[in-house]
Amino acid sequence: MNGDSAHHAYHVGPKGRVFKRRPALPCYDSPPQTRVPRDLLDAVSSDPDMQLVASFQVPRSDGRAFRVLKGQLCRFVVNEGSQVGDVNVWNLHNHKERFYSGKTRQLHASHLTAYDRLWSCMPFERPMATITVDTIAYGWDEDGAGVHDVIGTRCDPYIHERLTGKSHGTTCHENITRAIKPFGLTERDVHDVFNIFMCTGFDPKSHTYFAKGSPAEVGDAIEMLAEFDLLVALSSCPQGDVSIPCGQPVPDSVTFPLLVEIRQPSQATLQQYFAWSDPTTSLPSLPCADEQDAAPLVERDGLGAVLGAKGSEAPKRSDSGTLLLGQ
């Protein structure tokens, strides 16, 4: 075996230990449930009969929470200046089901783009939303960075004070916590985020997490289709475009609001998309899950999609927030 062959056949660790090289394989090799019919999804996003349901701004360094019903499109728009946003997502009718960034990352990639899906936590683990539009379409740059990450976390007051000894004043964690309070949720319901417009990666040598100033420009947008009724929270990050390292002062001149638009495609167009049989919208058998948590909260149609029972009310909760099933 010559030197070159030996070099490629083995890996030498930092302490000199020699390891036989093994092939790198995807943990989840693009399973069918992660792939959507692009033509049907494109038809939904470009529906000529689209109606604007709501349009509002999330002020700079602030947060808002809002409902996005099944079949509606939620579009996040950079409308004044390059700005990063932190997104949380819950099942509107069962807040224990929420966005799971780790599984989303495994099933798709460290950064999301059009046709990728946002997956929910265990024991549900199904698509919550599907990305229909990504105007940036950044791909991967020479440093290995991408945009719209599911690897970073939200800025928070605890690590800021621990690292700097100073109170930050406002963070995405606090913004989201305040925004969801009217919906009966608390700080403990805030979870790892979908960092829209954020440009990040891992240094190829040190493997440390890094960020770049967002390449998003005025007019750029990312849009997602609600696969069932959702509660969505967005923080317009106090770090602005994240061109300044966390812990350092951020001037107001690099922070901007973000625009949110809720759009409603026609029922005819949606019917074609939801007629696509997607087994991931059905809850699996959950023998090890808590019976109350796993119980269906609303009726299901023949497609397995979660739908509210006709003429029925949303599930009720006690004063402590416990779901009251069978009421």
Determine how many CB atoms are found less than 10 A away from the CB of residue 161. 12
Distance CA 22, CA 10 (A): 9
Tell me the C-alpha to C-alpha distance, in Å, between residue 95 and each of 3, 191, 271, 297: 58, 11, 26, 11
Overall average pLDDT of the 249-265 stretch: 94
pTM of the shown model: 0.84
Task: Work out the percent of the chain whose per-residue pLDDT is above 90.
Answer: 70
* pLDDT over 80 (residue 297): no
What's the pLDDT at 120?
96
What's the pLDDT at 216?
98
Distance CA 257, CA 80 (A): 7
Task: Work out the percent of the chain whose per-residue pLDDT is above 70.
Answer: 82
Parse the chain into domains and list their residue ranges: 51-271
Give the tens place of pLDDT for each residue, 49-63.
999 999 999 999 999
**3-class DSSP state for residue 291?**
helix
